[in-house]
């Protein structure tokens, strides 16, 4: 069971970070946007975890779980929107496959695993992993662009604060909608 205080704290902190981030905006004369983005990354990851725990427990209304997960995604994806990791991950995986095949060829004396075959297999794996992670990276960028839209983030932050207030009174937004 997820404690109600954790749910309320997640909603309040996430709502305040989302509202501050949306309200403050991007100002070049200050670094507050980067600070809020860093806080959004941490708070967003925590909200996603709390939302998943609340969803698996099934003890909270749909609106509480929905706000936790989507506001958490909004804060988290906005922070990682510009990070490009597909090439680095592909290089690491391709190198690990190449090294693993080289080790196998030496340990078991496999004649068909020549250096050229190992390099071709590692390169093919590198390309496949890069394409998969690049697609995932583009999906995260698109999600970060849509969910990180400042007016939407502001509204979701207000909804999180309203939901936290209603939870203190043993209600939720879902109680009034359904």
Q: What is the pLDDT of residues 55-80, one digit of tens each?
A: 998 878 999 999 999 999 999 998 88
Task: Report the chain's mean pLDDT, rounded to a whole number.
Answer: 91
CB 132 within 8 Å of CB 143: no
Q: Residue 2: is its pLDDT beyond 70?
A: no
pLDDT of residue 7: 92
Q: What is the pLDDT of residue 29?
A: 65
pLDDT at 148: 85
Identify the residue with better confidence: 165 or 58.
165
Kindly list the domain boundaries of the chain, sorted by start residue: 4-81+148-177, 86-137
Q: What is the pLDDT of residues 116-129, one digit of tens each?
A: 999 999 999 999 99
Residue ranges of alpha helices (H) inside the chain are 4-24, 32-57, 62-80, 86-107, 115-147, 150-168, 173-177
The pLDDT of residue 33: 82
Residue 81's pLDDT is 79
Tell me the percentage of the chain whose pLDDT exceeds 70: 95
CB burial string 85-121: b at 16+ within 10 A, e below: ebeebbeebbeebbeebeeebeeeeeeebeeeebeee
At residue 4 the predicted structure's pLDDT band, cuts being 50, 70 and 90, is low
**pTM exceeding the 0.75 threshold for the entire prediction:** yes
The tens digit of pLDDT for each residue in 28-50 reads 666 888 888 899 999 999 999 99
């Amino acid at each position: 069971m997820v404690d109600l205080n954790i749910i309320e704290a997640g909603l309040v902190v996430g709502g305040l970070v989302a509202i501050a981030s949306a309200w403050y905006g991007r100002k070049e004369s200050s670094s507050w946007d980067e600070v809020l983005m860093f806080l959004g990354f941490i708070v967003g990851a925590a909200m996603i975890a709390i939302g998943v725990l609340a969803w698996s427990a099934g003890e909270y209304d749909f609106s509480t779980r929905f706000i936790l997960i989507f506001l958490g995604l909004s804060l988290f994806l906005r922070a990682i929107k510009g990070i490009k990791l597909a090439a680095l991950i592909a290089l690491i995986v391709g190198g690990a496959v190449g090294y693993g095949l080289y080790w196998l060829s030496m340990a078991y004396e496999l004649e068909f695993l020549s250096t050229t075959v190992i390099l071709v297999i590692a390169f093919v794996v590198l390309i496949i992993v890069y394409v998969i992670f690049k697609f995932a990276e583009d999906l995260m960028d698109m999600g970060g662009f849509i969910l990180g839209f400042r007016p939407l983030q502001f509204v979701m932050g207000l909804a999180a604060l309203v939901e936290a207030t209603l939870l203190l009174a043993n209600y939720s937004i879902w109680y009034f909608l359904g």
